[in-house]
Structures are given as structure tokens and as C-alpha cells.
Amino acid sequence: MMNREEVLRWLHETDPTRLADLYARADAVRRECVGDEIHLRGLVEISNYCLQNCAYCGLRRENIAVERYRMSDLEIMDCVQEAVRRGYGTIVLQSGEDYGLETGWIADLVRKIKAGTSLAVTLSLGERFPEELAAWREAGADRYLLKFETSDDELYERIHPALPNRAYSRKGLLRILKDLGYEVGSGVMVGLPGQSYQALANDLFLFREMGLDMIGAGPFLPHPQTPLGQDATYATLPPEEQVPATEEMAYKVVALTRILCPNANIPSTTSLASLNREAGRRLALQRGANVVMPNLTPGTYRLCYEIYPEKLCFHEDPDFEHAQLMQLFADLGRPVGKGPGGRPVDIAKGKESSL
Ligand code: 5AD
Ligand code: SF4
């Protein structure tokens, strides 16, 4: 196991030879603990309405430049069928925090997917009420994704203005999701303005402490229609304390996450692939990641789901993307994961890597 000083040292490391050692170690832990399989999760961005006003995100409520959409259940079921055709094990339904997606409607949708396919269903619909999360779990939803974005409460409050009448914190909801029996995913952005090395080290240890099943970390990418993309002084730190939003820092976080949470499912994120279109996806898979989430959102809606600019999927034809992925996995000598690819059993046994 790595201690805090070591994690901080790695976060500051710049020597390529030493970093190559870190990446090799993460890759070995990945192979030992979750194997060579790469699991595919089909992502459907079902609505881009959002009640929240996060300072970093292009879908924030106050960004009136976004054309808002909500997919119909028929449109969503088409995407589900596409996931089945392609042999994916999981469908991920993602949206902004949109109460237009009614509790019963989502529950019916989940039931329909579970009855008609063998897909695992992951929901990523933001902060919803515990009763809703319970209803969806009852309807058959297997997993829930809710990123805590940063463990630094002060920074979180600055970039994520609180909505009135919220009884639960995001971290509190993660606990509730676990108690409801969901496999729980969370994660952070790397290089958020105002994010210190200390805070990022805390994020990594919090992943471990929370016993998360899925952990996603990608670089912060500034969006011009957001406060954080417009105002360089929105959240500032002395330069030596600020984590840079670089590709390399994101790989370090993926590698350290794998070493600290050996059994977690870790995606090679779209934000990382957007930063380096040519090699980002591959490099994350070689440095700890074992999951890819291809985008199945219909083209007409996809462009409207602009969390940050120049998302990889804006430019890809879905069939081309799929073929490219298959080629990449073949080049890496890694098989596509069979079945839902959920929580590895060893998490329950608390197995530690010997590496
Ligand atoms: N850069 C990178 N990731 C972002 N997200 C939101 N805005 C950005 C951005 N500007 C990520 C957050 C959030 C998810 C919707 O997308 O982690 O959880
Ligand atoms: Fe909404 Fe999520 Fe974007 Fe925040 S990060 S504005 S909750 S979609």
C-alpha cells in the first residue's frame, strides 16, 4: 500500500523513467486484480436539462446558449437495442439533474430494459431524492454514478452553488446509494482551478475509504460559457499548489487510483480521450483503466450534451468509433469483457494486491 507522502511525491513527479515505473506498476495491479478484459458500457445522454449551476459545466442552468432536449422512451430503447447488438454488457443512462425525468417514468424504463435484455443498468441522473433512488433500485437498476468532483468542501461549495432545501450532501447520497445495494461509482476532475495537491491526495484516499466500485477521473477542460472557463481568477491558488489540468496528471491519477483501489472498475474517460485523441484512450487503459464507455446518444442530441468543448464523440461516427475500439483492444491484446462486468467478487473479500 502507498502512504500519503508517497502519493504526494508521485503527484509531483515529472521524471519520465520514474513515471514509467508507476504506470507499469498500475498496469500489473490491474491485470492481477481485475484481469485483461475491457468492459464496454454504452452511454446514452437522455436529457441535458439541468437544475444545477456548476461553475465548470457547459450544461449549467444559466447557460442559455444550450439547446435543451429530453429523449423519448422509444428513442432510448433504440439505443438500448444498439448496445445489445454491439455486445455491450451495460447501458448507462446519464442526464443533468432533470426533474422532468419523472421517478415513475425512469422506473418503468429500467424495468423495460431489465425485462427485455440481460444488460446491467447504470443510472447517472444527478442528486435525486433517496425515495427515488430506492424506487429505481427496486425497478432493477444495478449501479449509480455520482461524482463528488473534489473532496475539498470549500472548493466544492465555491464551484457548485448549493440549491435551497437540500437535505443531503453529495457524499451523503453516495452512502445512501451503497446502503440501497447499488454498485456505486464516483470520481473527480483533475486540475480544477483551486484544486491543490493536498486536496487531490485526499480525493484518492477518499476513493479507497468509500470502497467505491467504480472510479472515474478525467482532466478539467474549460468551457467558454462557464464562470470557470471565463474568469481566470474565479478560484486561484499559488502556482506551486495548483494541480495542472494536464494529460499527464490525469494518467497519474488513474494509475494511483488503481494502486489504491485495486479491484475497482476504472474507465478510460472521454475527457482524457478528448485531450489526446490519438492515444489518450489507449494510454489510460495501459495505466490502470479497464472500462470504456462508448457514446450511443443519437447524433442530433449528442452535440447538445456539451459538458466541455470538443468532446471526442462530437467528431466520431458511432460505427467507426466501435471499429476503432475493437482494433485498439486487439492491438493491446485485451479481450472485450463478457457479461455485465460488475463489481469483482474480490471487493467483498477485501483482497489486496501483492504488488
Ligand atoms: N471538464 C471536465 N469534466 C467536466 N465535467 C463537467 N464539466 C467538466 C469540465 N469542464 C464532468 C464532471 C461531471 C460530469 C457531468 O462531467 O465530472 O460529473
Ligand atoms: Fe448539471 Fe452535472 Fe453539469 Fe453540474 S456537472 S451543471 S449537475 S450536468
What are the tens digits of pLDDT across the range 275-301? 999 999 999 999 999 999 999 999 899
Going by alpha carbons, the residue nearest to atom 6 of ligand 1 is 57
pTM above 0.85, yes or no: yes
Checking if the pLDDT of 322 tops 80, the result is yes
Query: How large is the average pLDDT for residues 158-187?
Result: 92
Checking if the pLDDT of 325 tops 80, the result is yes
Query: How large is the average pLDDT for residues 238-265?
Result: 97
Please tell me the distance between residue 190's alpha carbon and the centre of ligand 1 in angstroms: 10
Q: Provide the residue type at 16 as one letter.
A: P
Please tell me the distance between residue 57's alpha carbon and the centre of ligand 2 in angstroms: 6
- pLDDT at residue number 344: 67
Residue closest to 122 by CA, chosen among 149, 145, 98, 146:
145
SS3 content of the chain, % helix, strand, coil (to 5): 45, 15, 45
Checking if the pLDDT of 147 tops 90, the result is yes
Please tell me the distance between residue 115's alpha carbon and the centre of ligand 2 in angstroms: 30
- pLDDT at residue number 119: 97
Beta strand 39-47 with 90-95: parallel, antiparallel or unpaired? Answer: parallel
Residue closest to 194 by CA, chosen among 160, 233, 168:
233
Residues 74-100 have pLDDT tens digits of 999 999 999 999 999 999 999 999 999
Please tell me the distance between residue 237's alpha carbon and the centre of ligand 1 in angstroms: 20
- pLDDT at residue number 144: 98
Query: How large is the average pLDDT for residues 209-229?
Result: 96
CATH of domain 4-339: 3.20.20.70
- pLDDT at residue number 16: 97
Checking if the pLDDT of 349 tops 80, the result is no
- pLDDT at residue number 36: 97
Provide the Cα torsion 224, 227, 233, 238; round to 10°.
-90
Checking if the pLDDT of 210 tops 90, the result is yes
Instruction: Please indicate whether residue 59, judged by its CB atom, sits closer than 6 Å to ligand 2.
Output: yes
Residues 27-76 have pLDDT tens digits of 999 999 999 999 999 999 999 999 999 999 999 999 999 999 999 999 99
Going by alpha carbons, the residue nearest to atom 15 of ligand 1 is 307
Q: Which of 162-166, 237-241, 254-258 has the highest mean pLDDT?
A: 254-258
Instruction: Please indicate whether residue 227, judged by its CB atom, sits closer than 6 Å to ligand 2.
Output: no
Query: How large is the average pLDDT for residues 134-161?
Result: 96
- pLDDT at residue number 311: 76
Residue 244 C-alpha from the chain's centroid: 19
- pLDDT at residue number 347: 44
Burial of 16: CB neighbours in 10 Å, binned 0-12, 13-18, 19+: exposed
Query: How large is the average pLDDT for residues 329-348?
Result: 81
Long-range Cβ contact pairs of 141-144 (< 8 A, separation 24 or more)? 141/110, 141/182, 142/90, 142/182, 142/183, 142/340, 142/342, 143/90, 143/182, 143/183, 143/184, 143/185, 143/213, 143/214, 143/342, 144/177, 144/182, 144/183, 144/184, 144/185
| Band of pLDDT at residue 339, cut at 50, 70 and 90 | confident
Query: How large is the average pLDDT for residues 215-222?
Result: 97
Secondary structure (DSSP) of 86-133: TT-SEEEEEESS-TTS-HHHHHHHHHHHHHH---EEEEE--S--HHHH
- pLDDT at residue number 348: 43
CB atoms within 10 A of CB 165: 5
